[in-house]
Chains A and B, each alone.
Chain A
Amino acid sequence: MTCERIEELLSAFLEGELGQAEKALVESHLAGCPDCTALLAVLSRTQQALADFPELDVSPGLKARLAAIPEQKKKFSFSFDFVLKPSLQPVFAAATIFMTLLSFYLFNPDKKNIDRAIDQKIHSGYSQVEKLYAKTGSFTDRLGDTADNVFVSVKNWKVFGGNEDPTYK
C-alpha cells in the first residue's frame, strides 16, 4: 500500500472504523513507514486540538438583539400595511395601466414607427392650433373694423348732430 492510500485511511483508523483486513494493512504499513507514523501522531493531536476548542457564551448584548428580532419584524411588516388599504386600489390600478401602456410602448419592436406617428400627430395638432389662432386673429381684426364703422355711422346720424353723408343713404 502507498502512503497516499494510507493517508486516506488514517482518520478511519484513528476512529476505529476500519475492518480487520484494512486495519492490519495500515498497521503493517505504519510499522515500516516513519513518515506515516509521524503523520498519524500529528493527526491525532490535530483532532484533540479541535475537540478542545471551548464553546463560547453568547454576550448579553447579542442575546438582547436576538430577542428583539420578532418585534422588529412586526414593525417592519406594519410599515407596509398601507399597501393593502382599499382606498389606494384605484391609484394602484391606474399605475398598473399606465405601466402596462408604457411597457407596450418601451418594449415594442416597432417603437420607431410609433415615435414617428406620435411626432406627426403632435405636429399636425400644432399646425391646426396655429391655423385656428390665425383665423381668430383675422376675425378679431374684422370685428374691430366693423365696430369702428358702426361707431362712425352712428356718430354721423343727425339725431346726434352729425353731418349725415347723403351718399350713405
Chain B
Amino acid sequence: MLVNTYSKRVFNLAYQFGGSYQEAEDLTQDIFLKLHGALGKYDFEKNFTAWLITMAKNHLIDTYRKTRWEKAHRDEFDEQFAAPEAAQGPESGLMQEADRKLVWEGLNRLAPETRMAVILRDIQDKRYEEVAEILDLPLGTVKSRINRGRLQLAKILKDRKEDAHDL
C-alpha cells in the first residue's frame, strides 16, 4: 500500500532533484528502506505525507552533499520528457520545450536547499505552508528562498536565450 501510494511522489522528487533516472531509482529504494526502519517512530498526530517527504528531502540533500551530484550531468531532457502538447501552435510548443530544457538543466545550478524549495512549490505544486513544514523553515524564509531560486533560473533562461540570439 505504501508503495502504490507514495512511490511515484518520492521517485519524482528524487528525479527532479538529482536529474538522473537511474540514481532516482536507487535513491527511492534507499528512502523506502529508511521509511520501513523509521515507521515505528512515526507520530500519528503528524501529517504522514509531509513526514515522508521530509525524510526523502533529508536523504536527498545528505546524499547530494556526500556525492556532489552537481558534477554529474543531468539526464538528457528528451530522454524522459515527452514532447509538449502544441495547444498554442507548433512554434509556441517548441519555445516551451526549449524553456523546459533550459530550466531542467538550470536546476543543477541552484543550491540544494533552494532547488528543493523550488521543486516542492513549482513542480510538485505544494502550498508555501506545506513547503515550510517539509523544510522546517519559517514561511518568510521559504518564500524568499523560492523567489531567489526562480530568479536564478529566470536569469539562466534569459542569458541562454540572449546567447542563442547573438549566435
Interface residues of A (CB under 8 A from B): 7-8, 10-12, 38-39, 42-43, 45-59, 61-63, 65-67, 69-70, 73
Contact = CB atoms under 8 A, between A and B. Distances in A.
Interface in B69-85: 80-82, 84
B37 interface: yes
Given A66-B28, A73-B36, A55 B154 contact: no
B113 to A, nearest CB: 17
Per CB-CB distance, the 3 closest pairs between chain A and chain B, nearest first, are A50-B122, A11-B147, A49-B103
B25 interface: yes
Contact of A53 (B25, B33, B104, B157): B104
Contacts of A61: 25
A52 B147 CA distance: 18
A67 B3 contact: yes
Contacts of B63: none
Nearest to A67: B3
B103 A58 contact: no
Chain B CB within 10 Å, residue with most, of A38, A45, A50: A50
Interface in B137-167: 143-144, 146-147, 150-151, 153-155, 157-158, 161
Contacts of A54: 81-82
A49 B100 contact: yes
A4 B1 CA distance: 48
Given A11-B150, A46-B103, A56-B80, A51 B125 contact: yes
Contact of B29 (A47, A52, A56, A62): A62
Contact of B118 (A8, A39, A50): A50
B12 A52 contact: no
Interface in B2-36: 3, 7-8, 11-12, 15-16, 25, 28-29, 32-33, 36
B154 A52 contact: no
B123 A62 contact: no
A42 B154 contact: yes
B165 to A, nearest CB: 13
B99 interface: yes
B96 A49 contact: yes
B96 A57 contact: no
Contacts of A58: 7-8, 11, 28
A155 B111 CA distance: 109
A18 to B, nearest CB: 12
B140 to A, nearest CB: 11
Contacts of B161: 42
Which of B16, B84, B123, B161 has the largest count of A CB atoms less than 10 A from its CB? Answer: B123
